[in-house]
Structure 1
């Protein structure tokens, strides 16, 4: 599905802005990194992480990268169809579906991801490192592991 043909406008969330430095012969050179998540609240999501000399430029670069890396997730009634686990470096994320009106029970970084993807009822648990970059990548890896319900039912028969 093309982004331009989508009926839902893309929603952008800024998760993290950090000042980083590089030590050179003349002293320190400062720049900024930005981590953003983009989604259409209907199962499409992407994330971007970019660096620039100024904050607005870093944010716009990361949003553009997130828009280029969009992919679809199979949702089921405002949640996910089954439990999934995602890893990245020292961060481990377990995402469990909730079928009643429980809301989003998770940490800040994961909450932003679930909001832009369109998940309204879910609970999650984070083990290991709580670094926002690792948490976002681990959550994206977990969401990529979601299987379609039709394929699950075919395998059971």
Structure 2
């Protein structure tokens, strides 16, 4: 007698029916709206990171000189760095400062923070200074003279860095005496603080700008 070896059919389990969550178990995102990820979440009101970068981008930052300094103590010598920097908006405002720290990046950061706190406004006349002037500091003197359009900035070292940050396009200059970059920069700073525009001179003399120019 033949034996039937066919396996009986296995019953299929019923497919579970998905249940709809009740109102008490709704997704928490329904309460707060869709989550926003990515760069679109930055603040643009000037108080966040985006606004801070935009505010700082208006200044041109230049390093004039980096000096390595040391201090001798009982246990040996301690080394540090002194960095002279200048900042300007290339629209008539400029500032210089000296930053000191044990590392160059920290010294640069301190110098830039100080320079931004001591900005001065310099009167400019068609891309050059309004009149000649001689600035002095220590053993350094810097002669500044206005130049015709197209001349360019005839200067070097600290003087060129300061006037590029200031936004001057044409200038004649001559350094007299010591070539120490710190003294030269401060002599240039002394001259810039004493420059006067036509409006300032007219106000001091009680005249109109036309009377100052044409007599």
Is 1:76 the equivalent of 2:118? Answer: no
CA displacement at 1:151 relative to structure 2:
3.5
CA distance in 1, matches of 2:64, 2:162: 9
What's the TM-score once normalised by structure 1's chain length?
A: 0.92
Name the structure 1 match of 2:183.
134
Name the structure 2 match of 1:32.
81
Bigger radius of gyration, 1 or 2? 2
Q: Supply the RMSD in Å over aligned alpha carbons.
A: 1.6
**Where do 1:82-97 residues align within 5 Å?**
82-97=131-146
- Equivalent position to 1:43, from 86, 92, 117: 92
Name the structure 2 match of 1:99.
148
Structure 2's unaligned 5+ residue stretches are 1-51, 206-211
CA displacement at 1:10 relative to structure 2:
0.7
CA displacement at 1:50 relative to structure 2:
1.6
CA distance in 1, matches of 2:139, 2:120: 24
CA distance in 2, matches of 1:61, 1:39: 16
- Equivalent position to 2:160, from 101, 106, 111: 111
CA distance in 2, matches of 1:13, 1:77: 23
CA displacement at 1:150 relative to structure 2:
2.3
SS of the aligned residue for 2:145 comes to strand
Give aligned pairs, total. Answer: 152
Structure 1's unaligned 5+ residue stretches are none
- Equivalent position to 2:109, from 54, 60, 79: 60
